[in-house]
Chains A and B, each alone.
Chain A
Amino acid sequence: MSEATAHDDHHDHKPTGIGRWLFSTNHKDIGTMYLIFALVMLFLGGASAMVLRMELFMPGIQIVDPDTYNNLLTNHALIMVFGMVMPAGAGMANWMIPMMIGAPDMALPRLNNLSFWLLPMAGTMLILSMVISYFPGTGTPVNTGWTLYPPLSVQSGMGMDFLIFTVHILGISSILAAINIVTTIVNMRAPGMTWFKMPLFVWSWLFTGLLLIMIMPVLAGGVTMLLFDRHFGTSFFDAAGGGDPVLFQHLFWFFGHPEVYVLLLPSIGVLGLIIPTFSRKPLFAYKPLVWFMAALTALGMVVWAHHQYTVGMSLDATTYFMIGTILISIPVGMMLMSFIFTMWRGAMTFETPMLFGIAIILMFSFAGVTGVMLAVVPADLQYHDSYFVVAHFHYALIPGSVFGLYAAVFYWLPKWTGNMYNETQGQIFFWWTTLSFNLTFFPQHFSGLAGMPRRIVDYSPQFADFNYLSSVGGMLFGLSHLLFLYIIIKTIKGGEKAPANPWEGSQIGTTGLEWTLPSPPPFHSFNTPPAIK
């Protein structure tokens, strides 16, 4: 035994200095870097949103010119989706999956580090795509929105080339991360960790990984064709040469719709841990829930064109995509039901993660309802490209994925840092963000239904009141994140020491391996495979 301990000590020896981070092969260090990157991007993306909201505070053009507005809008979306939510999810996968399945590390640790370091490179490219347009002779800034539709994207200046390669680097990073995570889940489970003993978070990342492997290459193909149309004279997206700009929309949304599940699923996985913990009851209908996730993954791959109802597809196609999209709300609804049934008659307590959990269920259901409204073709012909869509996807994305990540941060900070966060501050943050979020986006349903178009710097004075509310809400929402940052930094620096398992109910109905390790856990999670109940 003493020999084994000596051996463990040796493996627990941490590399020191900056090299520990730059050359890391450790899942926790890489996870931490992912999370820090995501946090930085959260503030960058947030800052651009603040400018957008300030501009929309009043009708008329006050702060930024239209091209800059559209450029900021594009970057806001890309930063939030690719720079914030996806890396944060990957960071959590890195941190938690090896611990949850009883592995010492990820399956391919060096590849893991490559996936991470590609992100700052992509971030640099993205920033270049913004600043390059300030050089003379480089054409218009990127002003297409995150969907990059041609012909506008064929027309924009050199910034678009930087953006295309940003997407390529991000794509490589995501594919490599997905390969690694899927391989880890399939191959690195401790003996006895059978498929249906895996915590829901691990399942959610298995499906997310599979989705990424299938969709990122399609986006890469699409933007490659865009590049060729821009520079090498091909006619993929030009009708005069026999091509079709609508094809790009198909490619983009073949990626884009599953992408929203890439953003959503990890957070659903987090809910699958948090709701049982604070209800002190096992997750209701765990196995069916896994199958619903699988159904969501499969169905999610074949409904993409509900984003294109207005481009003139055939009646057959629109009908098919409408029915498919409405069908999706069944597995989504079932997942939420199973969370609600988990809470039913549970001994609930309402710590910050749980508050977020309940808020997610309420507000995300709301997004599901507006989603079904948008899925209905004749209705969508009215709503499309209006602020109603903006309201829909912010209700889907912020509660659906971002709040899930926040819940996870509060749930796991004690494990990650070894310190408890301050519960009062956590709850203040919860109420502050949730209320200001609703103040920001709820009015947009009305301005959208009344006909306010999205992605435009100015608007007709009749929408002024709704936008005033949205802007005030937006500023408050942005400010609340300073508190978030403060809580995180304070918890990292110190605070009440956290025990190995700070949450009373965290091991009910699940293996809960991550809670058997001390907080913070040793450098390599499980050097000996743990015994599995």
Chain B
Amino acid sequence: MTNTESYFIPEPSRWPIISASSVFVLLFGFILMINDVSVGSMILTAGFLMIGYIFFGWFGAVIDENLRGSYGPNVSTSFRQGMFWFITSEVFFFLTFFACLYYFRGIAIPSLSGEGHQPMSNILWDGFQDVWPLVTLPGDTNVVSGTTYTPPKEAMGAGGIPLWNTIILLSSGGTLTWAHWGLKKESKNQLVLGLMMTVALGLIFFGFQAYEYFHAYTAMDLKLTSGIYGSTFYMLTGFHGLHVTIGTIMLIVITIRSMKDHFTEENHFAFEAVAWYWHFVDVVWIGLYFFVYWL
């Protein structure tokens, strides 16, 4: 008779306000840390612990409610739409960095080298050449922040590790879909196996990426301080790597939940949300491979 059954309104919850405070603690610690205030890293660690506690607590509470069957179809639609809009905002976050890359390569650097609509700008650094990847920088210090730039010895190639990583991430999309089929067929083995393979591929990707960073820093002198090529390279691949890490953690969680039989054919929002997220991370990588490594 009443509508509240299908609408489900949660009881008052302490998680939101704890989350907001821990975001504050985390960022406050981070600010102090990067400004060399000694307590900063301790506060930062406290913030991380608080965030971890919330993830267990809040998601745990949601999982419990779900297992108790509190959620009707209306709630699961809301969750799905919420996730959809969240990923949309993430798309715009990454588009920002891709757009910046385009801006540097298409507008800023040509203009510095005396091309484009304002050729006189070459007066700043006479003889500066527009070559991408930019291994020869216009100047050598940032007069405002005081950073001394360290030009890279060479640029990142598109073969080798990046190519392998492309193959790995694309296959992980495949194994995840295969796991989804397993869920639909109600074959637990296929579901768990598919998820485990996806997690494994995610971890391998992560390892390769870490090795690539290490190699870039030590052997190639490609650093955050290597001018705009290094800046954009690390910004794009770094935020992507962060998303892979988060995605892998989420995959591990749903693998464990699959083993505990949490998902059914009708009720598997968490699985879908993680799958969408992972595919999104996949697509971003393809963009990265083309625009950062290859072109």
Q: Tell me if A222 and B142 are in contact (CB < 8 A).
A: no
Q: Which residues of B contact A382 (CB under 8 A)?
A: none
A92 interface residue (CB < 8 Å to B): no
Secondary structure dominating the interface of B: helix
Q: Tell me if B13 and A110 are in contact (CB < 8 A).
A: yes
Q: Tell me if A104 and B7 are in contact (CB < 8 A).
A: yes
Our count of residue pairs bridging A and B at CB distance below 8 angstroms stands at 253
A244 interface residue (CB < 8 Å to B): yes
A479 interface residue (CB < 8 Å to B): no
Q: Tell me if B1 and A240 are in contact (CB < 8 A).
A: no
B10 interface residue (CB < 8 Å to A): yes
**Which of the residues B19, B89, B225 comes within 8 Å of A216, measured between beta carbons?**
B89
Q: Tell me if A186 and B81 are in contact (CB < 8 A).
A: yes
Once bound together, how far apart are the Cα atoms of A528 and B6, in whole Å?
Answer: 11
A231 interface residue (CB < 8 Å to B): yes
Q: Tell me if A228 and B231 are in contact (CB < 8 A).
A: yes
Which B residues, 47 to 87, have Cβ-Cβ distances below 8 Å to chain A? 58, 74, 77-79, 81-82, 85-86
Q: Which residues of A contact B127 (CB under 8 A)?
A: none
Q: Tell me if A312 and B118 are in contact (CB < 8 A).
A: yes
Q: Tell me if A233 and B147 are in contact (CB < 8 A).
A: yes
Secondary structure dominating the interface of A: helix
Chain B residue at minimum C-beta to C-beta distance from A102: B3
Which of B90, B145, B224 has the largest count of A CB atoms less than 10 A from its CB? B145
**Which of the residues A161, A216, A217, A244 comes within 8 Å of B103, measured between beta carbons?**
A244
A218 interface residue (CB < 8 Å to B): yes
Which A residues, 11 to 63, have Cβ-Cβ distances below 8 Å to chain B? 11, 15, 19-20, 22-25
Q: Tell me if B1 and A187 are in contact (CB < 8 A).
A: no
**Which of the residues B17, B82, B97, B145 comes within 8 Å of A183, measured between beta carbons?**
B82
B14 interface residue (CB < 8 Å to A): yes
Q: Bin chain B's interface residue count.
A: 35 or more
Which of B93, B124, B229 has the largest count of A CB atoms less than 10 A from its CB? B93
Render B14-37 as a binary contact track against A, CB cut-off 8 A, 1 for contact. Answer: 111101110110011011001100
A490 interface residue (CB < 8 Å to B): no
A232 to chain B, nearest CB (A): 5
Q: Tell me if B100 and A236 are in contact (CB < 8 A).
A: yes
Q: Tell me if B138 and A105 are in contact (CB < 8 A).
A: no
Q: Tell me if A187 and B74 are in contact (CB < 8 A).
A: yes
**Which of the residues B17, B28, B92, B100 comes within 8 Å of A225, measured between beta carbons?**
B100
Render A242-268 as a binary contact track against B, CB cut-off 8 A, 1 for contact. Answer: 111011001100000000000000000
Q: Which residues of A contact B92 (CB under 8 A)?
A: 213-215, 217-218
Interface residues of chain A, those whose CB is within 8 Å of chain B, are: 3-4, 7-8, 11, 15, 19-20, 22-25, 103-105, 107-111, 113-114, 116-118, 120-121, 124-125, 128, 138, 150-151, 154-155, 158, 161-162, 165, 168-169, 172, 175, 178-180, 182-184, 186-188, 213-218, 220-222, 225, 228-236, 238-244, 246-247, 250-251, 312-316, 524, 526-529
